[in-house]
Amino acid sequence: MDTLHELTEIFRAFPGVGPRQAKRFVHHLLQRGEDAEALSALAARLRKSVVRCELCRRFFTKEGSFKKCRACRDEGRDKATLLIVARDIDLEAVEKSGSFRGYYFVLGGTIPILDKQPEKRIALAALIARAENAAKEGLKEIVLALSANPEGEHTAETAARILAPLAKEHNIKISTLGRGLSTGTELEYADAETLKSAFKNRQ
C-alpha cells in the first residue's frame, strides 16, 4: 500500500484539482505534520458532526441535538417566501447579500439539459414535501434562485413544473430572479436578452 500514491489519488478527485496540484497537497501535508493530523481528525469527524438540515437540506455543524440549521430554526424569518437554490454555496451568497429574509431550500445540484432522470440529480421529492409543509404555514411565494445559464434555467423550469400543482392548489406564486445588468456588465457586451430585461426592468 503506497500512502503517497493513494493520498494523491484522493486529492485528484477533489473538484478542480489536477495531478500536479494533488501532489503539492501531499507535500504540503508532509511538511506540516500538525495539519496532517488535524486533517485526519476533522475528516473522521466530518460525517458524524456535520448533518443535513432536515428542512432546507443544507449541511451544518451539529449543535446539540438540533436537526435544523440556524436559519430554519429562526422563527423570526418571513414564512411567506421560500427561496430555492442549487447548492449550499448559493444559499450562502444570497444570505450574505442581505437581500432575503425568508426560508431556503437546497436542491443539491442542477439538472443537465438532456438529463433523463432529474430526480437523481436534485431532491425533487424533498422539495415537494418542504413546499407542502410551508404551505400550511402561510407560504405565498416560491422564488427559484438559479444561475442565469442554460442548466440553471432548465433546473428552474423542472422545479416549476414539479411545483405547479401544489402552487395552484395553495395559490402560491412561483417566481424567478430578475434579469438585467449585473454589476460590471458593460452595455457594449451585453446580449440581447440581458438588454431586453434591463430595459423592461428599468426604474
Segment 143 to 202, residues that bind a copy of itself, using CB under 8 A: 143, 145-149, 152, 175-202
**For a copy of itself, which stretch binds (CB under 8 A), given 2-10, 71-79, 123-131, 162-170?**
2-10
Q: Whole-number minimum distance, CB 93 to a copy of itself, in Å? A: 5
Answer for the pair 142, 175: CB distance below 8 angstroms, yes or no: yes
Nearer to a copy of itself, 29 or 166 (CB): 29
Nearer to a copy of itself, 40 or 133 (CB): 40
- Residue 140 found at the interface with a copy of itself (CB under 8 A): no
Q: Residue from 80, 100, 115, 121 that binds a copy of itself (CB under 8 A)?
A: 100
Q: Mutual orientation of helices 124-136 and 150-170 as an angle, nearest 10°?
A: 40
Q: Mutual orientation of helices 33-49 and 19-31 as an angle, nearest 10°?
A: 110
Distance between CA atoms of residues 90 and 168, nearest Å = 27
Q: Which residues contact 36 (CB under 8 A, 6 or more apart)?
A: 29, 30
Which triple of cell numbers denotes residue 27? 507535500
Q: Which residues contact 183 (CB under 8 A, 6 or more apart)?
A: none
Compose the 5-24 pattern: x for residues touching a copy of itself by CB under 8 A, - for all others. Answer: xxx--x--xxxx---xx-xx
Distance between CA atoms of residues 37 and 182, nearest Å = 43
Which helix (H) or strand (E) is 44 found in, with range? helix 33-49
Q: How many residues does the chain have?
A: 203
Q: Residue from 71, 90, 139, 162 that binds a copy of itself (CB under 8 A)?
A: 90
Compose the 53-72 pattern: x for residues touching a copy of itself by CB under 8 A, - for all others. Answer: ------xxx-----------
Nearer to a copy of itself, 56 or 136 (CB): 56
Nearer to a copy of itself, 65 or 203 (CB): 203
Nearer to a copy of itself, 136 or 188 (CB): 188
Q: Mutual orientation of helices 3-12 and 19-31 as an angle, nearest 10°?
A: 130
Q: Whole-number minimum distance, CB 158 to a copy of itself, in Å? A: 17
**For a copy of itself, which stretch binds (CB under 8 A), given 32-40, 66-74, 118-126, 157-165?**
32-40
